[in-house]
């Protein structure tokens, strides 16, 4: 669990660096484009075209850069928040799986105990039935051996 959180933190840090780098690149490109447009505007003004370089004032470019940086920061904050939320969900799912596993193990343990108890009961009944059958067999054998000599005496001929 700790390792997963470290990996997620490293990924978030890398994303943070990449987004901030992209923001700086866009800001640099916007500044370069503004300088080139001013240069072209001034060149065109030298040939009699209207001077529109004032409309590319610093304030408008700053607003655009600020807007992009703010958007990038919000995206980073959203990624961090999402990462934290996913981490919490992962922890909770892990705890839930652990709890359910413990419950299933307990149910299986109870099932095995129940089977064991019933097996013991069945074996006890089988022992009792076997004991009774042995007693009856022994009793029948004793009765049979007492009756045989009488038959033997009757069946003998004296001669």
Domain boundaries, given as residue ranges, for the chain: 2-152
Please tell me the distance from the alpha carbon of residue 90 to that of residue 10, in angstroms, as a whole number: 17
Residue 158 has phi, psi (to 5 degrees) of -100, 130
pLDDT at 17: 84
pLDDT in tens, 98-136: 999 999 999 999 999 999 999 999 999 999 999 998 888
Kindly tell me if the per-residue pLDDT of 150 is higher than 70.
no
Cβ density class 16-55: b for 16+ within 10 Å, e for less: beebeeebeeebeeeeeebeeeeeebeeeeeeeeeeebee
pLDDT in tens, 93-105: 999 999 999 999 9
Q: Say whether pTM exceeds 0.75.
A: no
> Tokens standing for 32?
């370069």
Residue 72: CB atoms within 10 A of its CB come to 19
Residue 91: CB atoms within 10 A of its CB come to 13
pLDDT at 61: 61
Mean pLDDT of the chain: 81
């Amino acid at each position: 669990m700790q390792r997963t959180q470290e990996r997620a933190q490293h990924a978030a840090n890398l994303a943070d660096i990449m987004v901030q780098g992209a923001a700086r690149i866009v800001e640099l490109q916007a500044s370069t484009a503004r300088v080139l447009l001013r240069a072209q505007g001034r060149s065109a003004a030298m040939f009699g075209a209207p001077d529109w370089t004032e409309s590319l004032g610093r304030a408008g470019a700053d607003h655009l850069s600020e807007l992009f940086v703010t958007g990038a920061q919000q995206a980073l904050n959203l990624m961090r928040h999402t990462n934290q939320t996913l981490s919490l969900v992962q922890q909770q799912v892990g705890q839930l799986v652990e709890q359910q596993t413990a419950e299933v193990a307990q149910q299986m343990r109870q099932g095995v105990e129940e089977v064991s108890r019933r097996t013991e009961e069945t074996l006890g009944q089988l022992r009792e039935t076997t004991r009774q059958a042995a007693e009856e067999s022994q009793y029948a054998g004793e009765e049979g051996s007492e009756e045989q000599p009488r038959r033997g005496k009757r069946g003998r001929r004296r001669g």
